[in-house]
Each structure stands twice: as structure tokens, then as C-alpha cells.
Chains A and B, each alone.
Chain A
Amino acid sequence: MTPRFVLGRIGFYTLIAVLLAFFTIPLLWLVTAPFTSDPTYEVRWPDFTWENFQAVVEHPYALPSLWNSLVLSVGTALLVVVMAALAAYALSRVRLPGRDALLYALLLLSSIITGTAAMVPLFQLAVELNLIDSQLGLILILTGGLLPAAIFMLKDFMDSTPKSYEESARVFGASPLQIVRHVVVPLVRPGLATIAVWAIANVWGNFLMPYLLLSDVEKQPAAVITYTLYTEGGQANLRMLSTFGLLYSVPVVLMYLFVSKKYGFRFHGGIKR
């Protein structure tokens, strides 16, 4: 127990305390205000009322927007997983000419073409194709943006699974689609789950694209409704906003807890944004 050691301990716990405060304080409002009958911007000890949740339930667009978020994110995730799995499988197993260049180009594209860079043409494209206010249109656009990274991640995953099962399945006369469904999918299920969760998290939090392409309030997801709630009418309705924000956040937190418990939270390059 040298003085230097003691000082080191004190320094360590001070730093940890500062870090904990920095990361906790902004979150405190989100967990207290929804249970406070008349919340202000300041964090206060709540009086544990459920009235605010009542207000969210009665709000015409709040719960439907959570449903919209679910439709958008699950729809996108399904499309991404199916299309990326087929593509990654073929790219992993067959030596197509120019395959490596294609994969390289895909990875490059997905990192440089962002919502910010492509918002003008995507908006125009949606207008021309009559996809404004179309949830399916938005799903297709989001899928197109997520696919390259998904293919890349899945291909890596498939490269590391053994090919011998597929060969024997083939000897017994299984068709390629049957092989994918009954042999490959079970083998790469953790990879598919990762991609699905990654896609859901991406779309669930996405604000820019739905804000640009969905003007019908009945079709907007929770991200856009949250923004509307605090800019509408000049004065933010804090009861509504805090409670709705909490409800909107809970699903991703649960999903994260589930994933980190089941698979151990690993991340793959390019997650989120």
C-alpha cells in the first residue's frame, strides 16, 4: 500500500465517477419524467403516476407510430436477411468472375453513399416513382442501403462454415434452394440473427429517411413523431414526449439485452448509421 498506489486508486475511482455521471445524467430525465405528474426539464424524483402513459395511449398518432416503426424495421430486416443470405451464399460458394472486385465495390459504395449525400436524388426518385408516403417504398430504399454491408458480413460468415454438409446434401439430390434452407441457414443462424438485429436497430433509430419520404402523419414512425412532438406548437408537451420517448426506447434496449445475453455482444464494422 504505497502512497502512489493509494493515489492511483483515488484517481481511478474519481475518473470512473465522472464518467458514470457524464453518461447517466442525460438518461435520468428519460427514466424519471414519464412517472412525474408535471415534469419540467429538470430531473426530479417522480411521484409515480401512470397518467402520462394514459395520455400516450389516447394520443392519435403515438402508438400507431410505434407500430409503423415495427413494420418498417421488421420489413426491412426480413428483406435484408433473405436477399443478403442468397447473395452472400452464392458469392461465397461460386467463383463468379469479378467477385472480389464486386465485393470491394459494394463495401466502398455502402460507406460513401449516405443519407446525407443521397437525400436529394432519393427524394426525387421517390417523387418520380410515386413512393412518397409509401412504407413499402421506404422499406425498399432502406434495404438497398443496408444490403452491401449485410452481404459483406454474411459472406465472411459463410466462408468460415464447412462445405462438406452441402456436398453430401447434394449427393442425396437436394436442390440449391433446399440446401440453402435446410443446410446453410441452420449453420449460419447466428450470422443471420446478427444481420437481422443490426438492420432492425438501424431502421428503428433512423430519422432522416422517413422524415424526408413520409409526410402522412399516419404512416410516420416513432422517430418522426418524437420530433413532431417537440417542435409542434412551440411548446413541447413534456409529459407526452418523455413518456413516448421511453416507450420508443424500451424495445431497442430489450433487444440489446437479449442479444448480449444470447450471443455475447459483438459488433461488426459499419454497424449503425
Chain B
Amino acid sequence: MAQAISPPEVLDDKAPGRDRYSSDAAGLGRLRAGVFVAPALLLIAAFLVFPALWVLYLGLTNYRLTGAAAAEPRFVGLDNFLDAIANPTFWNSTWLTVQFVLGSAVIGQVVLGFTIAWLLRDRRGPLKRLVEGLVILAWILPSAVVSFLWVALLDRDGGTLNALLGIPGFPWLLDHPMLSIIIFNTWRGTAFSMMLYGAALGNVPPSHLESARLAGASGWQQLRDVVFPHIRGHILTNLLLISLWTFNDFSPFLLTAGGPDGRSEVLAVHVYKVALQSGELGYGAAVSTIILLINLVVAVFYLRLLRSKK
């Protein structure tokens, strides 16, 4: 942050054409551009980049919330990572996270989002607005509220779902915690896919569909041979983004708190439980590092895709 504005440069600025640094439109000059960018970069460095680097270090220590290791954490090398690999709870959480991402993002949101966009593709008017409005509503409502709505809906004794299905006493959240959070996350997250596919379908040339129809292609053949090849890039973008979001989603904690007996403890909840409830910050940081690395891989794929499109 060494870039201060020197007085002569401020004066120069009043006289057009005498900017010593560049001939850009606003007469900013590189130094002053640096000053404009600096506050944002400072905050990003302090609260985004530094924590990410710090978590890499913390994962290599035996840092704890309480006790001797709280005051003076010791460097323990890769012990935490070896502990994680040997820990069945970690593998349980990893497997549950795979189910969560595959179930609610890859299958749930993509299929449902595309289906809605496809059904409403040629429509205008109130029906389209109603369906889209409800799907978007599910997306914008605060997660603390919607997770509770699902707790109420799925409640064993008084819940609306059991009343509708006529099966009072069926314990959705206790017997099928993963299914519950998968359906919940599908419900909550479909809006993004729906909007993305809605926009993508608008770009499929109607003439291609028309000629496929004239050639006698069935609905499914039109989808397979015309629509899907055309929106392949959108599907891939969609898959990568929502997988990333779902992978990092903490809201299963609000619905089931990871329970019962860790049967819905996805990695996001696992980190919270081991690090901030049990106080094993070093171990939690090691798991966070693994999450960071997986995020990095997915994000690099995503950015490559974006670049290749431009």
C-alpha cells in the first residue's frame, strides 16, 4: 500500500495530455489506479486470501480450542491428514457428501431445472410467471427459514407430508436424513438451473427443432439430437457451479444438524463439528484443506470452460 498520490501528479491531472503515466480515458494514471484498487485488495487479502493460506498451515498443527495446544500449537506435519484418512467418520462424511452432490445437484437440480425450463419454453403469461416465481421464491428465502419449513413438513407426527400421504408416524428425518436433505436442497436450489436452461433454450434455433420435427423425430430424439448438443456448454457450466455450491453448503446443519448419529454429516457439517464443537481446530483445518483442494479442481475446470467460450 505504498502508493500515495504525489502533489505534482494531482496538478498534472488538470492539464489534459500531460499525464505522465498513461493516456487512459479518465486520466487515472497507474499510480492512482492502484489507489482505487488498493482498498478492495486489502480486504480481500485480509479476509479471503490470508484465511486460505492460514488454513493450510493450521492443518499441519495440533491446534485446539482448549487446553495446552490452544496457547501453543505444535507443528505435527501430516498427522492430521493421516488421522483423517484413518478416521471412519471422515470417510462417512465424504461418502455422504458425494451422495448429497450427486443426488441434489447433479440429478435433482439439473433434471428438475431443465424439465421446468423445457415445459415452459414457448410460454408467456401467468402460468409461466407463477411456476417461475415459486421456484425462485424457494431460492431467495433465507436458508434458516426454509430449512425449518422442511422440518415442519417432514415432522413425524404433525407434519403435513405424513398427513397428506396418510402415514402418520413415518420418521422422515430420522429414518432418511440424507434423502430429506437431498430433496430439501433440490427444492431450494433448482431456480438457478431453471433460469440458466431457460436462457440457454432461448438460443436454440427454432428452425433446427422445426426441421427435426418435420423429419419425424420424437420429442426425446429432438432433445437428444438437437437440444442437448446445442446447450452442452450450459449443462457443463451448470453442473460445475451447483456441484461446487452444494459441496460447500452448510444448510444440512440447519435441517438435521448432521444427525441422527452422523448419518447426514456431510463434510461442511463435519468440519464445523470437529473444529468448533469438539475443538480440534488443527484436524478441522486439515479437512478444510481437503475441501479447498477439491474446490480448486472444480473451479479450474469451470474457469477453463468460461475462457474457452469467450
Cβ of A175 < 8 Å from any Cβ of B? yes
Report whether A117 and B248 are in contact in the complex, using a CB–CB cutoff of 8 Å: yes
Contact with A along B32-47 (1 / 0, CB 8 A): 1110110111011011
Q: A116-B291, A222-B142 are in contact. Are A124 and B58 (CB under 8 A)?
A: yes
Report whether A227 and B26 are in contact in the complex, using a CB–CB cutoff of 8 Å: no
In residues 10-59 of chain B, which contact A (Cβ within 8 Å)?
10, 13-14, 16, 22, 24-30, 32-34, 36-37, 39-41, 43-44, 46-52, 54-55, 58
Q: Size band of the A side of the interface?
A: 35 or more
In this complex, how many residues of chain B approach chain A with their Cβ under 8 Å: the count is 95
For residue B40, which residues in chain A have a CB less than 8 angstroms away from its CB?
83-84, 86-87, 147, 151
Shortest distance between the CB of A201 and any CB in chain B (Å): 6
Report Cα–Cα, A208/B249, bound state, in Å: 10
Chain A's closest residue to B297 (CB) is A112
Report whether B55 and A118 are in contact in the complex, using a CB–CB cutoff of 8 Å: yes
In residues 120-149 of chain B, which contact A (Cβ within 8 Å)?
127, 130-131, 134-146, 148-149
> From DSSP, what is the main secondary structure of chain A's interface residues?
helix
Report Cα–Cα, A86/B151, bound state, in Å: 44
Residue from B29, B39, B135, B153 within 8 A of A25 (CB atoms): B153
20 A-B pairs whose Cβ atoms sit less than 8 Å apart in the complex? A20-B134, A23-B187, A24-B134, A29-B152, A79-B43, A94-B29, A109-B49, A113-B51, A113-B295, A116-B271, A120-B271, A121-B51, A125-B51, A140-B47, A170-B26, A170-B27, A171-B16, A208-B250, A248-B144, A256-B140
Q: Residues of B at under 8 Å CB distance from A?
A: 10, 13-14, 16, 22, 24-30, 32-34, 36-37, 39-41, 43-44, 46-52, 54-55, 58, 63, 115-116, 119, 127, 130-131, 134-146, 148-153, 155, 157-161, 163-164, 187, 192, 195, 241, 244-245, 248-251, 254, 267-268, 271-272, 275-276, 281, 284-285, 288, 291-292, 295-296, 299-300, 302-303
